[in-house]
Structure 1
Amino acid sequence: MGEELRLYSYWRSSAAYRVRIGLNLKGLGYETVPVHLLRDGGEQLAPDYARTNPQKLVPVLQHGQRLFRQSLAILEYVDEVWPSPPLLPATSRERQRVRSLAQLVASDIHPLNNLRVMRYLDREWNVPQPERDVWTRHWISEGFDAFEALLQGHPATGTFCDGHLPTLADCCLVPQIYNARRFGLDIERWPTICAIEQACLELPAFRDAAPDRQPDAPQQA
């Protein structure tokens, strides 16, 4: 599997951030292909990029000549092709728990504060920015309340979401925490989430995937 990896990414996209963490945990080198989600109305909407991803979203992972879409599906592909270190635990029951935590973020929290949702609220319903920010904080808080409850006191919770190695769940959680802080949420409200984030950020794989370390990040970031 010596074919080149390219990641179509935007520095502040939490979905792309997840994939960057996963690739880094695997020790895989990749080329970043920036897709600016705001410039010229959004480069993801241009016809050339729409042929790369008809959903007009990032990330897309290119492995050789093949294109892979949807961040969780990309991460599972990466885990199958490069199984060490694993992003999913050994047993079916443990894998189900990790996938459910990951999907709590990727399917339930993140879509409600995604850029295209914010644009729709703005352009179609004229919802002002302060109200959109309240919307975002509400849905992140609802999700984190549930995430924290699923972690607290569970025998599988360890240094990370599941045991003492980072998994798919941690790849999803850390970018969502970044988003939460952007919108003014105090993460200390969720002590288990906070402790797991601190453990993750001790690892170079997580630190190097951070938005402000990306080649397309603006200088002031």
Structure 2
Amino acid sequence: MSSSQIKLYSYWRSTTSYRVRAALNLKGVGYETVPVDLLAGDQRSDDYAALNPGKGVPTLVLADGTVLTQSLAILDYIEETWPTPPLLPADKRLRARVLAAAHTMAVDVHPVNNLRVVTHLRDAYGVDTDGAMAWMRHWMDQGFAAFETLVDDTTEFAFGDTPDLADLCLVAQAYNARRWGVDLTPYPNVARIEAACLAVPEIAAAHPDQQPDAQ
């Protein structure tokens, strides 16, 4: 598929963008990256807000102009449209386990640690930089502790020998953890899975440092 057919509006350090990039790469779907500088406030521009009323990233614009927002909804579309290789297992019980681990990162940790929440903590409640970092580390530690017990400890990835949705959500959050100084030593499954993911070329290519807008 030509990269000109699909556009992915993303920010290089965005964990939500990271997991969508990884999914597209794994499935061999070409796309054009359109950078949205969150720190500069690009997401609040009239043009972008018209595209994505939530004023966040990622936004996926399909070849026919259809606009998709919210990373988990985008990932669901990707999985249904390009099912190979699968990111969710066919077995219903295993699928529920994969989703639970994925949501631990994507639903429990990410929303309370994203830029707009941390900015609001500072602006509305006077939380200083140290307090904001302590806040983020707290929720990451809580999430990693749960993830550690939800996944298998005898497989290369979270639930098998190939990466799934839980792995993509984890590797993106692990990037944030290392960025903010979270010690992953207490979470050997997390560290093992992160290393396995980063050894996959398609996931490595989705890493923030490899993006055209990386600073």
Same fold (TM over 0.5): yes
- Superposed CA offset, 1:65-107 (max 9, x none): 1011111111111111111111111111111111111111111
Which residue type is aligned with residue 210 of structure 2? Answer: R
Partner of 1:58: 57
Partner of 1:83: 83
Find 1:186's aligned residue among 183, 188, 209. Answer: 183
Q: Distance in 2 between matches of 1:126 and 1:187?
A: 29
1:124 aligned counterpart, secondary structure: helix
* 8 Å CA contact retained: 2:8, 2:32: yes
Q: Distance in 1 between matches of 2:152 and 2:180?
A: 24
TM-score, with structure 2 as normaliser: 0.96
Q: Distance in 2 between matches of 1:152 and 1:207?
A: 22
Partner of 2:95: 95
Which residue type is aligned with residue 186 of structure 1? Answer: D
Which residue type is aligned with residue 29 of structure 1? Answer: G
Partner of 2:212: 215
- Superposed CA offset, 1:94-152 (max 9, x none): 11111111111111001111000011011111110001101110110011011101125
TM-score, with structure 1 as normaliser: 0.93
Q: Distance in 2 between matches of 1:182 and 1:60?
A: 24
1:11-30 aligned within 5 A: 11-30=12-31
2:68 aligned counterpart, secondary structure: strand
1:160-175 aligned within 5 A: 160-175=157-172
2:127 aligned counterpart, secondary structure: coil
Q: Distance in 2 between matches of 1:134 and 1:152?
A: 29
Which residue type is aligned with residue 214 of structure 1? Answer: Q
Gapped runs of 5+ residues in structure 1? none
| Root-mean-square deviation (Å) | 1.3
Q: Distance in 1 between matches of 2:19 and 2:199?
A: 16
* 8 Å CA contact retained: 2:152, 2:159: no
Stretches (4+) displaced over 3 A: none
1:144 aligned counterpart, secondary structure: helix
1:43 aligned onto 2:13: no
Q: Distance in 2 between matches of 1:215 and 1:36?
A: 12
1:187 aligned counterpart, secondary structure: coil
Q: Percent identity?
A: 52
Q: Distance in 1 between matches of 2:107 and 2:196?
A: 24
Partner of 1:200: 197
Which residue type is aligned with residue 156 of structure 2? Answer: T
- Superposed CA offset, 1:15-66 (max 9, x none): 0001000001101110001110011xx1101111111111100001111110
Q: What's the CA shift for 1:160?
A: 0.7
Gapped runs of 5+ residues in structure 2? none
- Superposed CA offset, 1:167-194 (max 9, x none): 1111100010000111101112200111
Which residue type is aligned with residue 54 of structure 2? Answer: Q
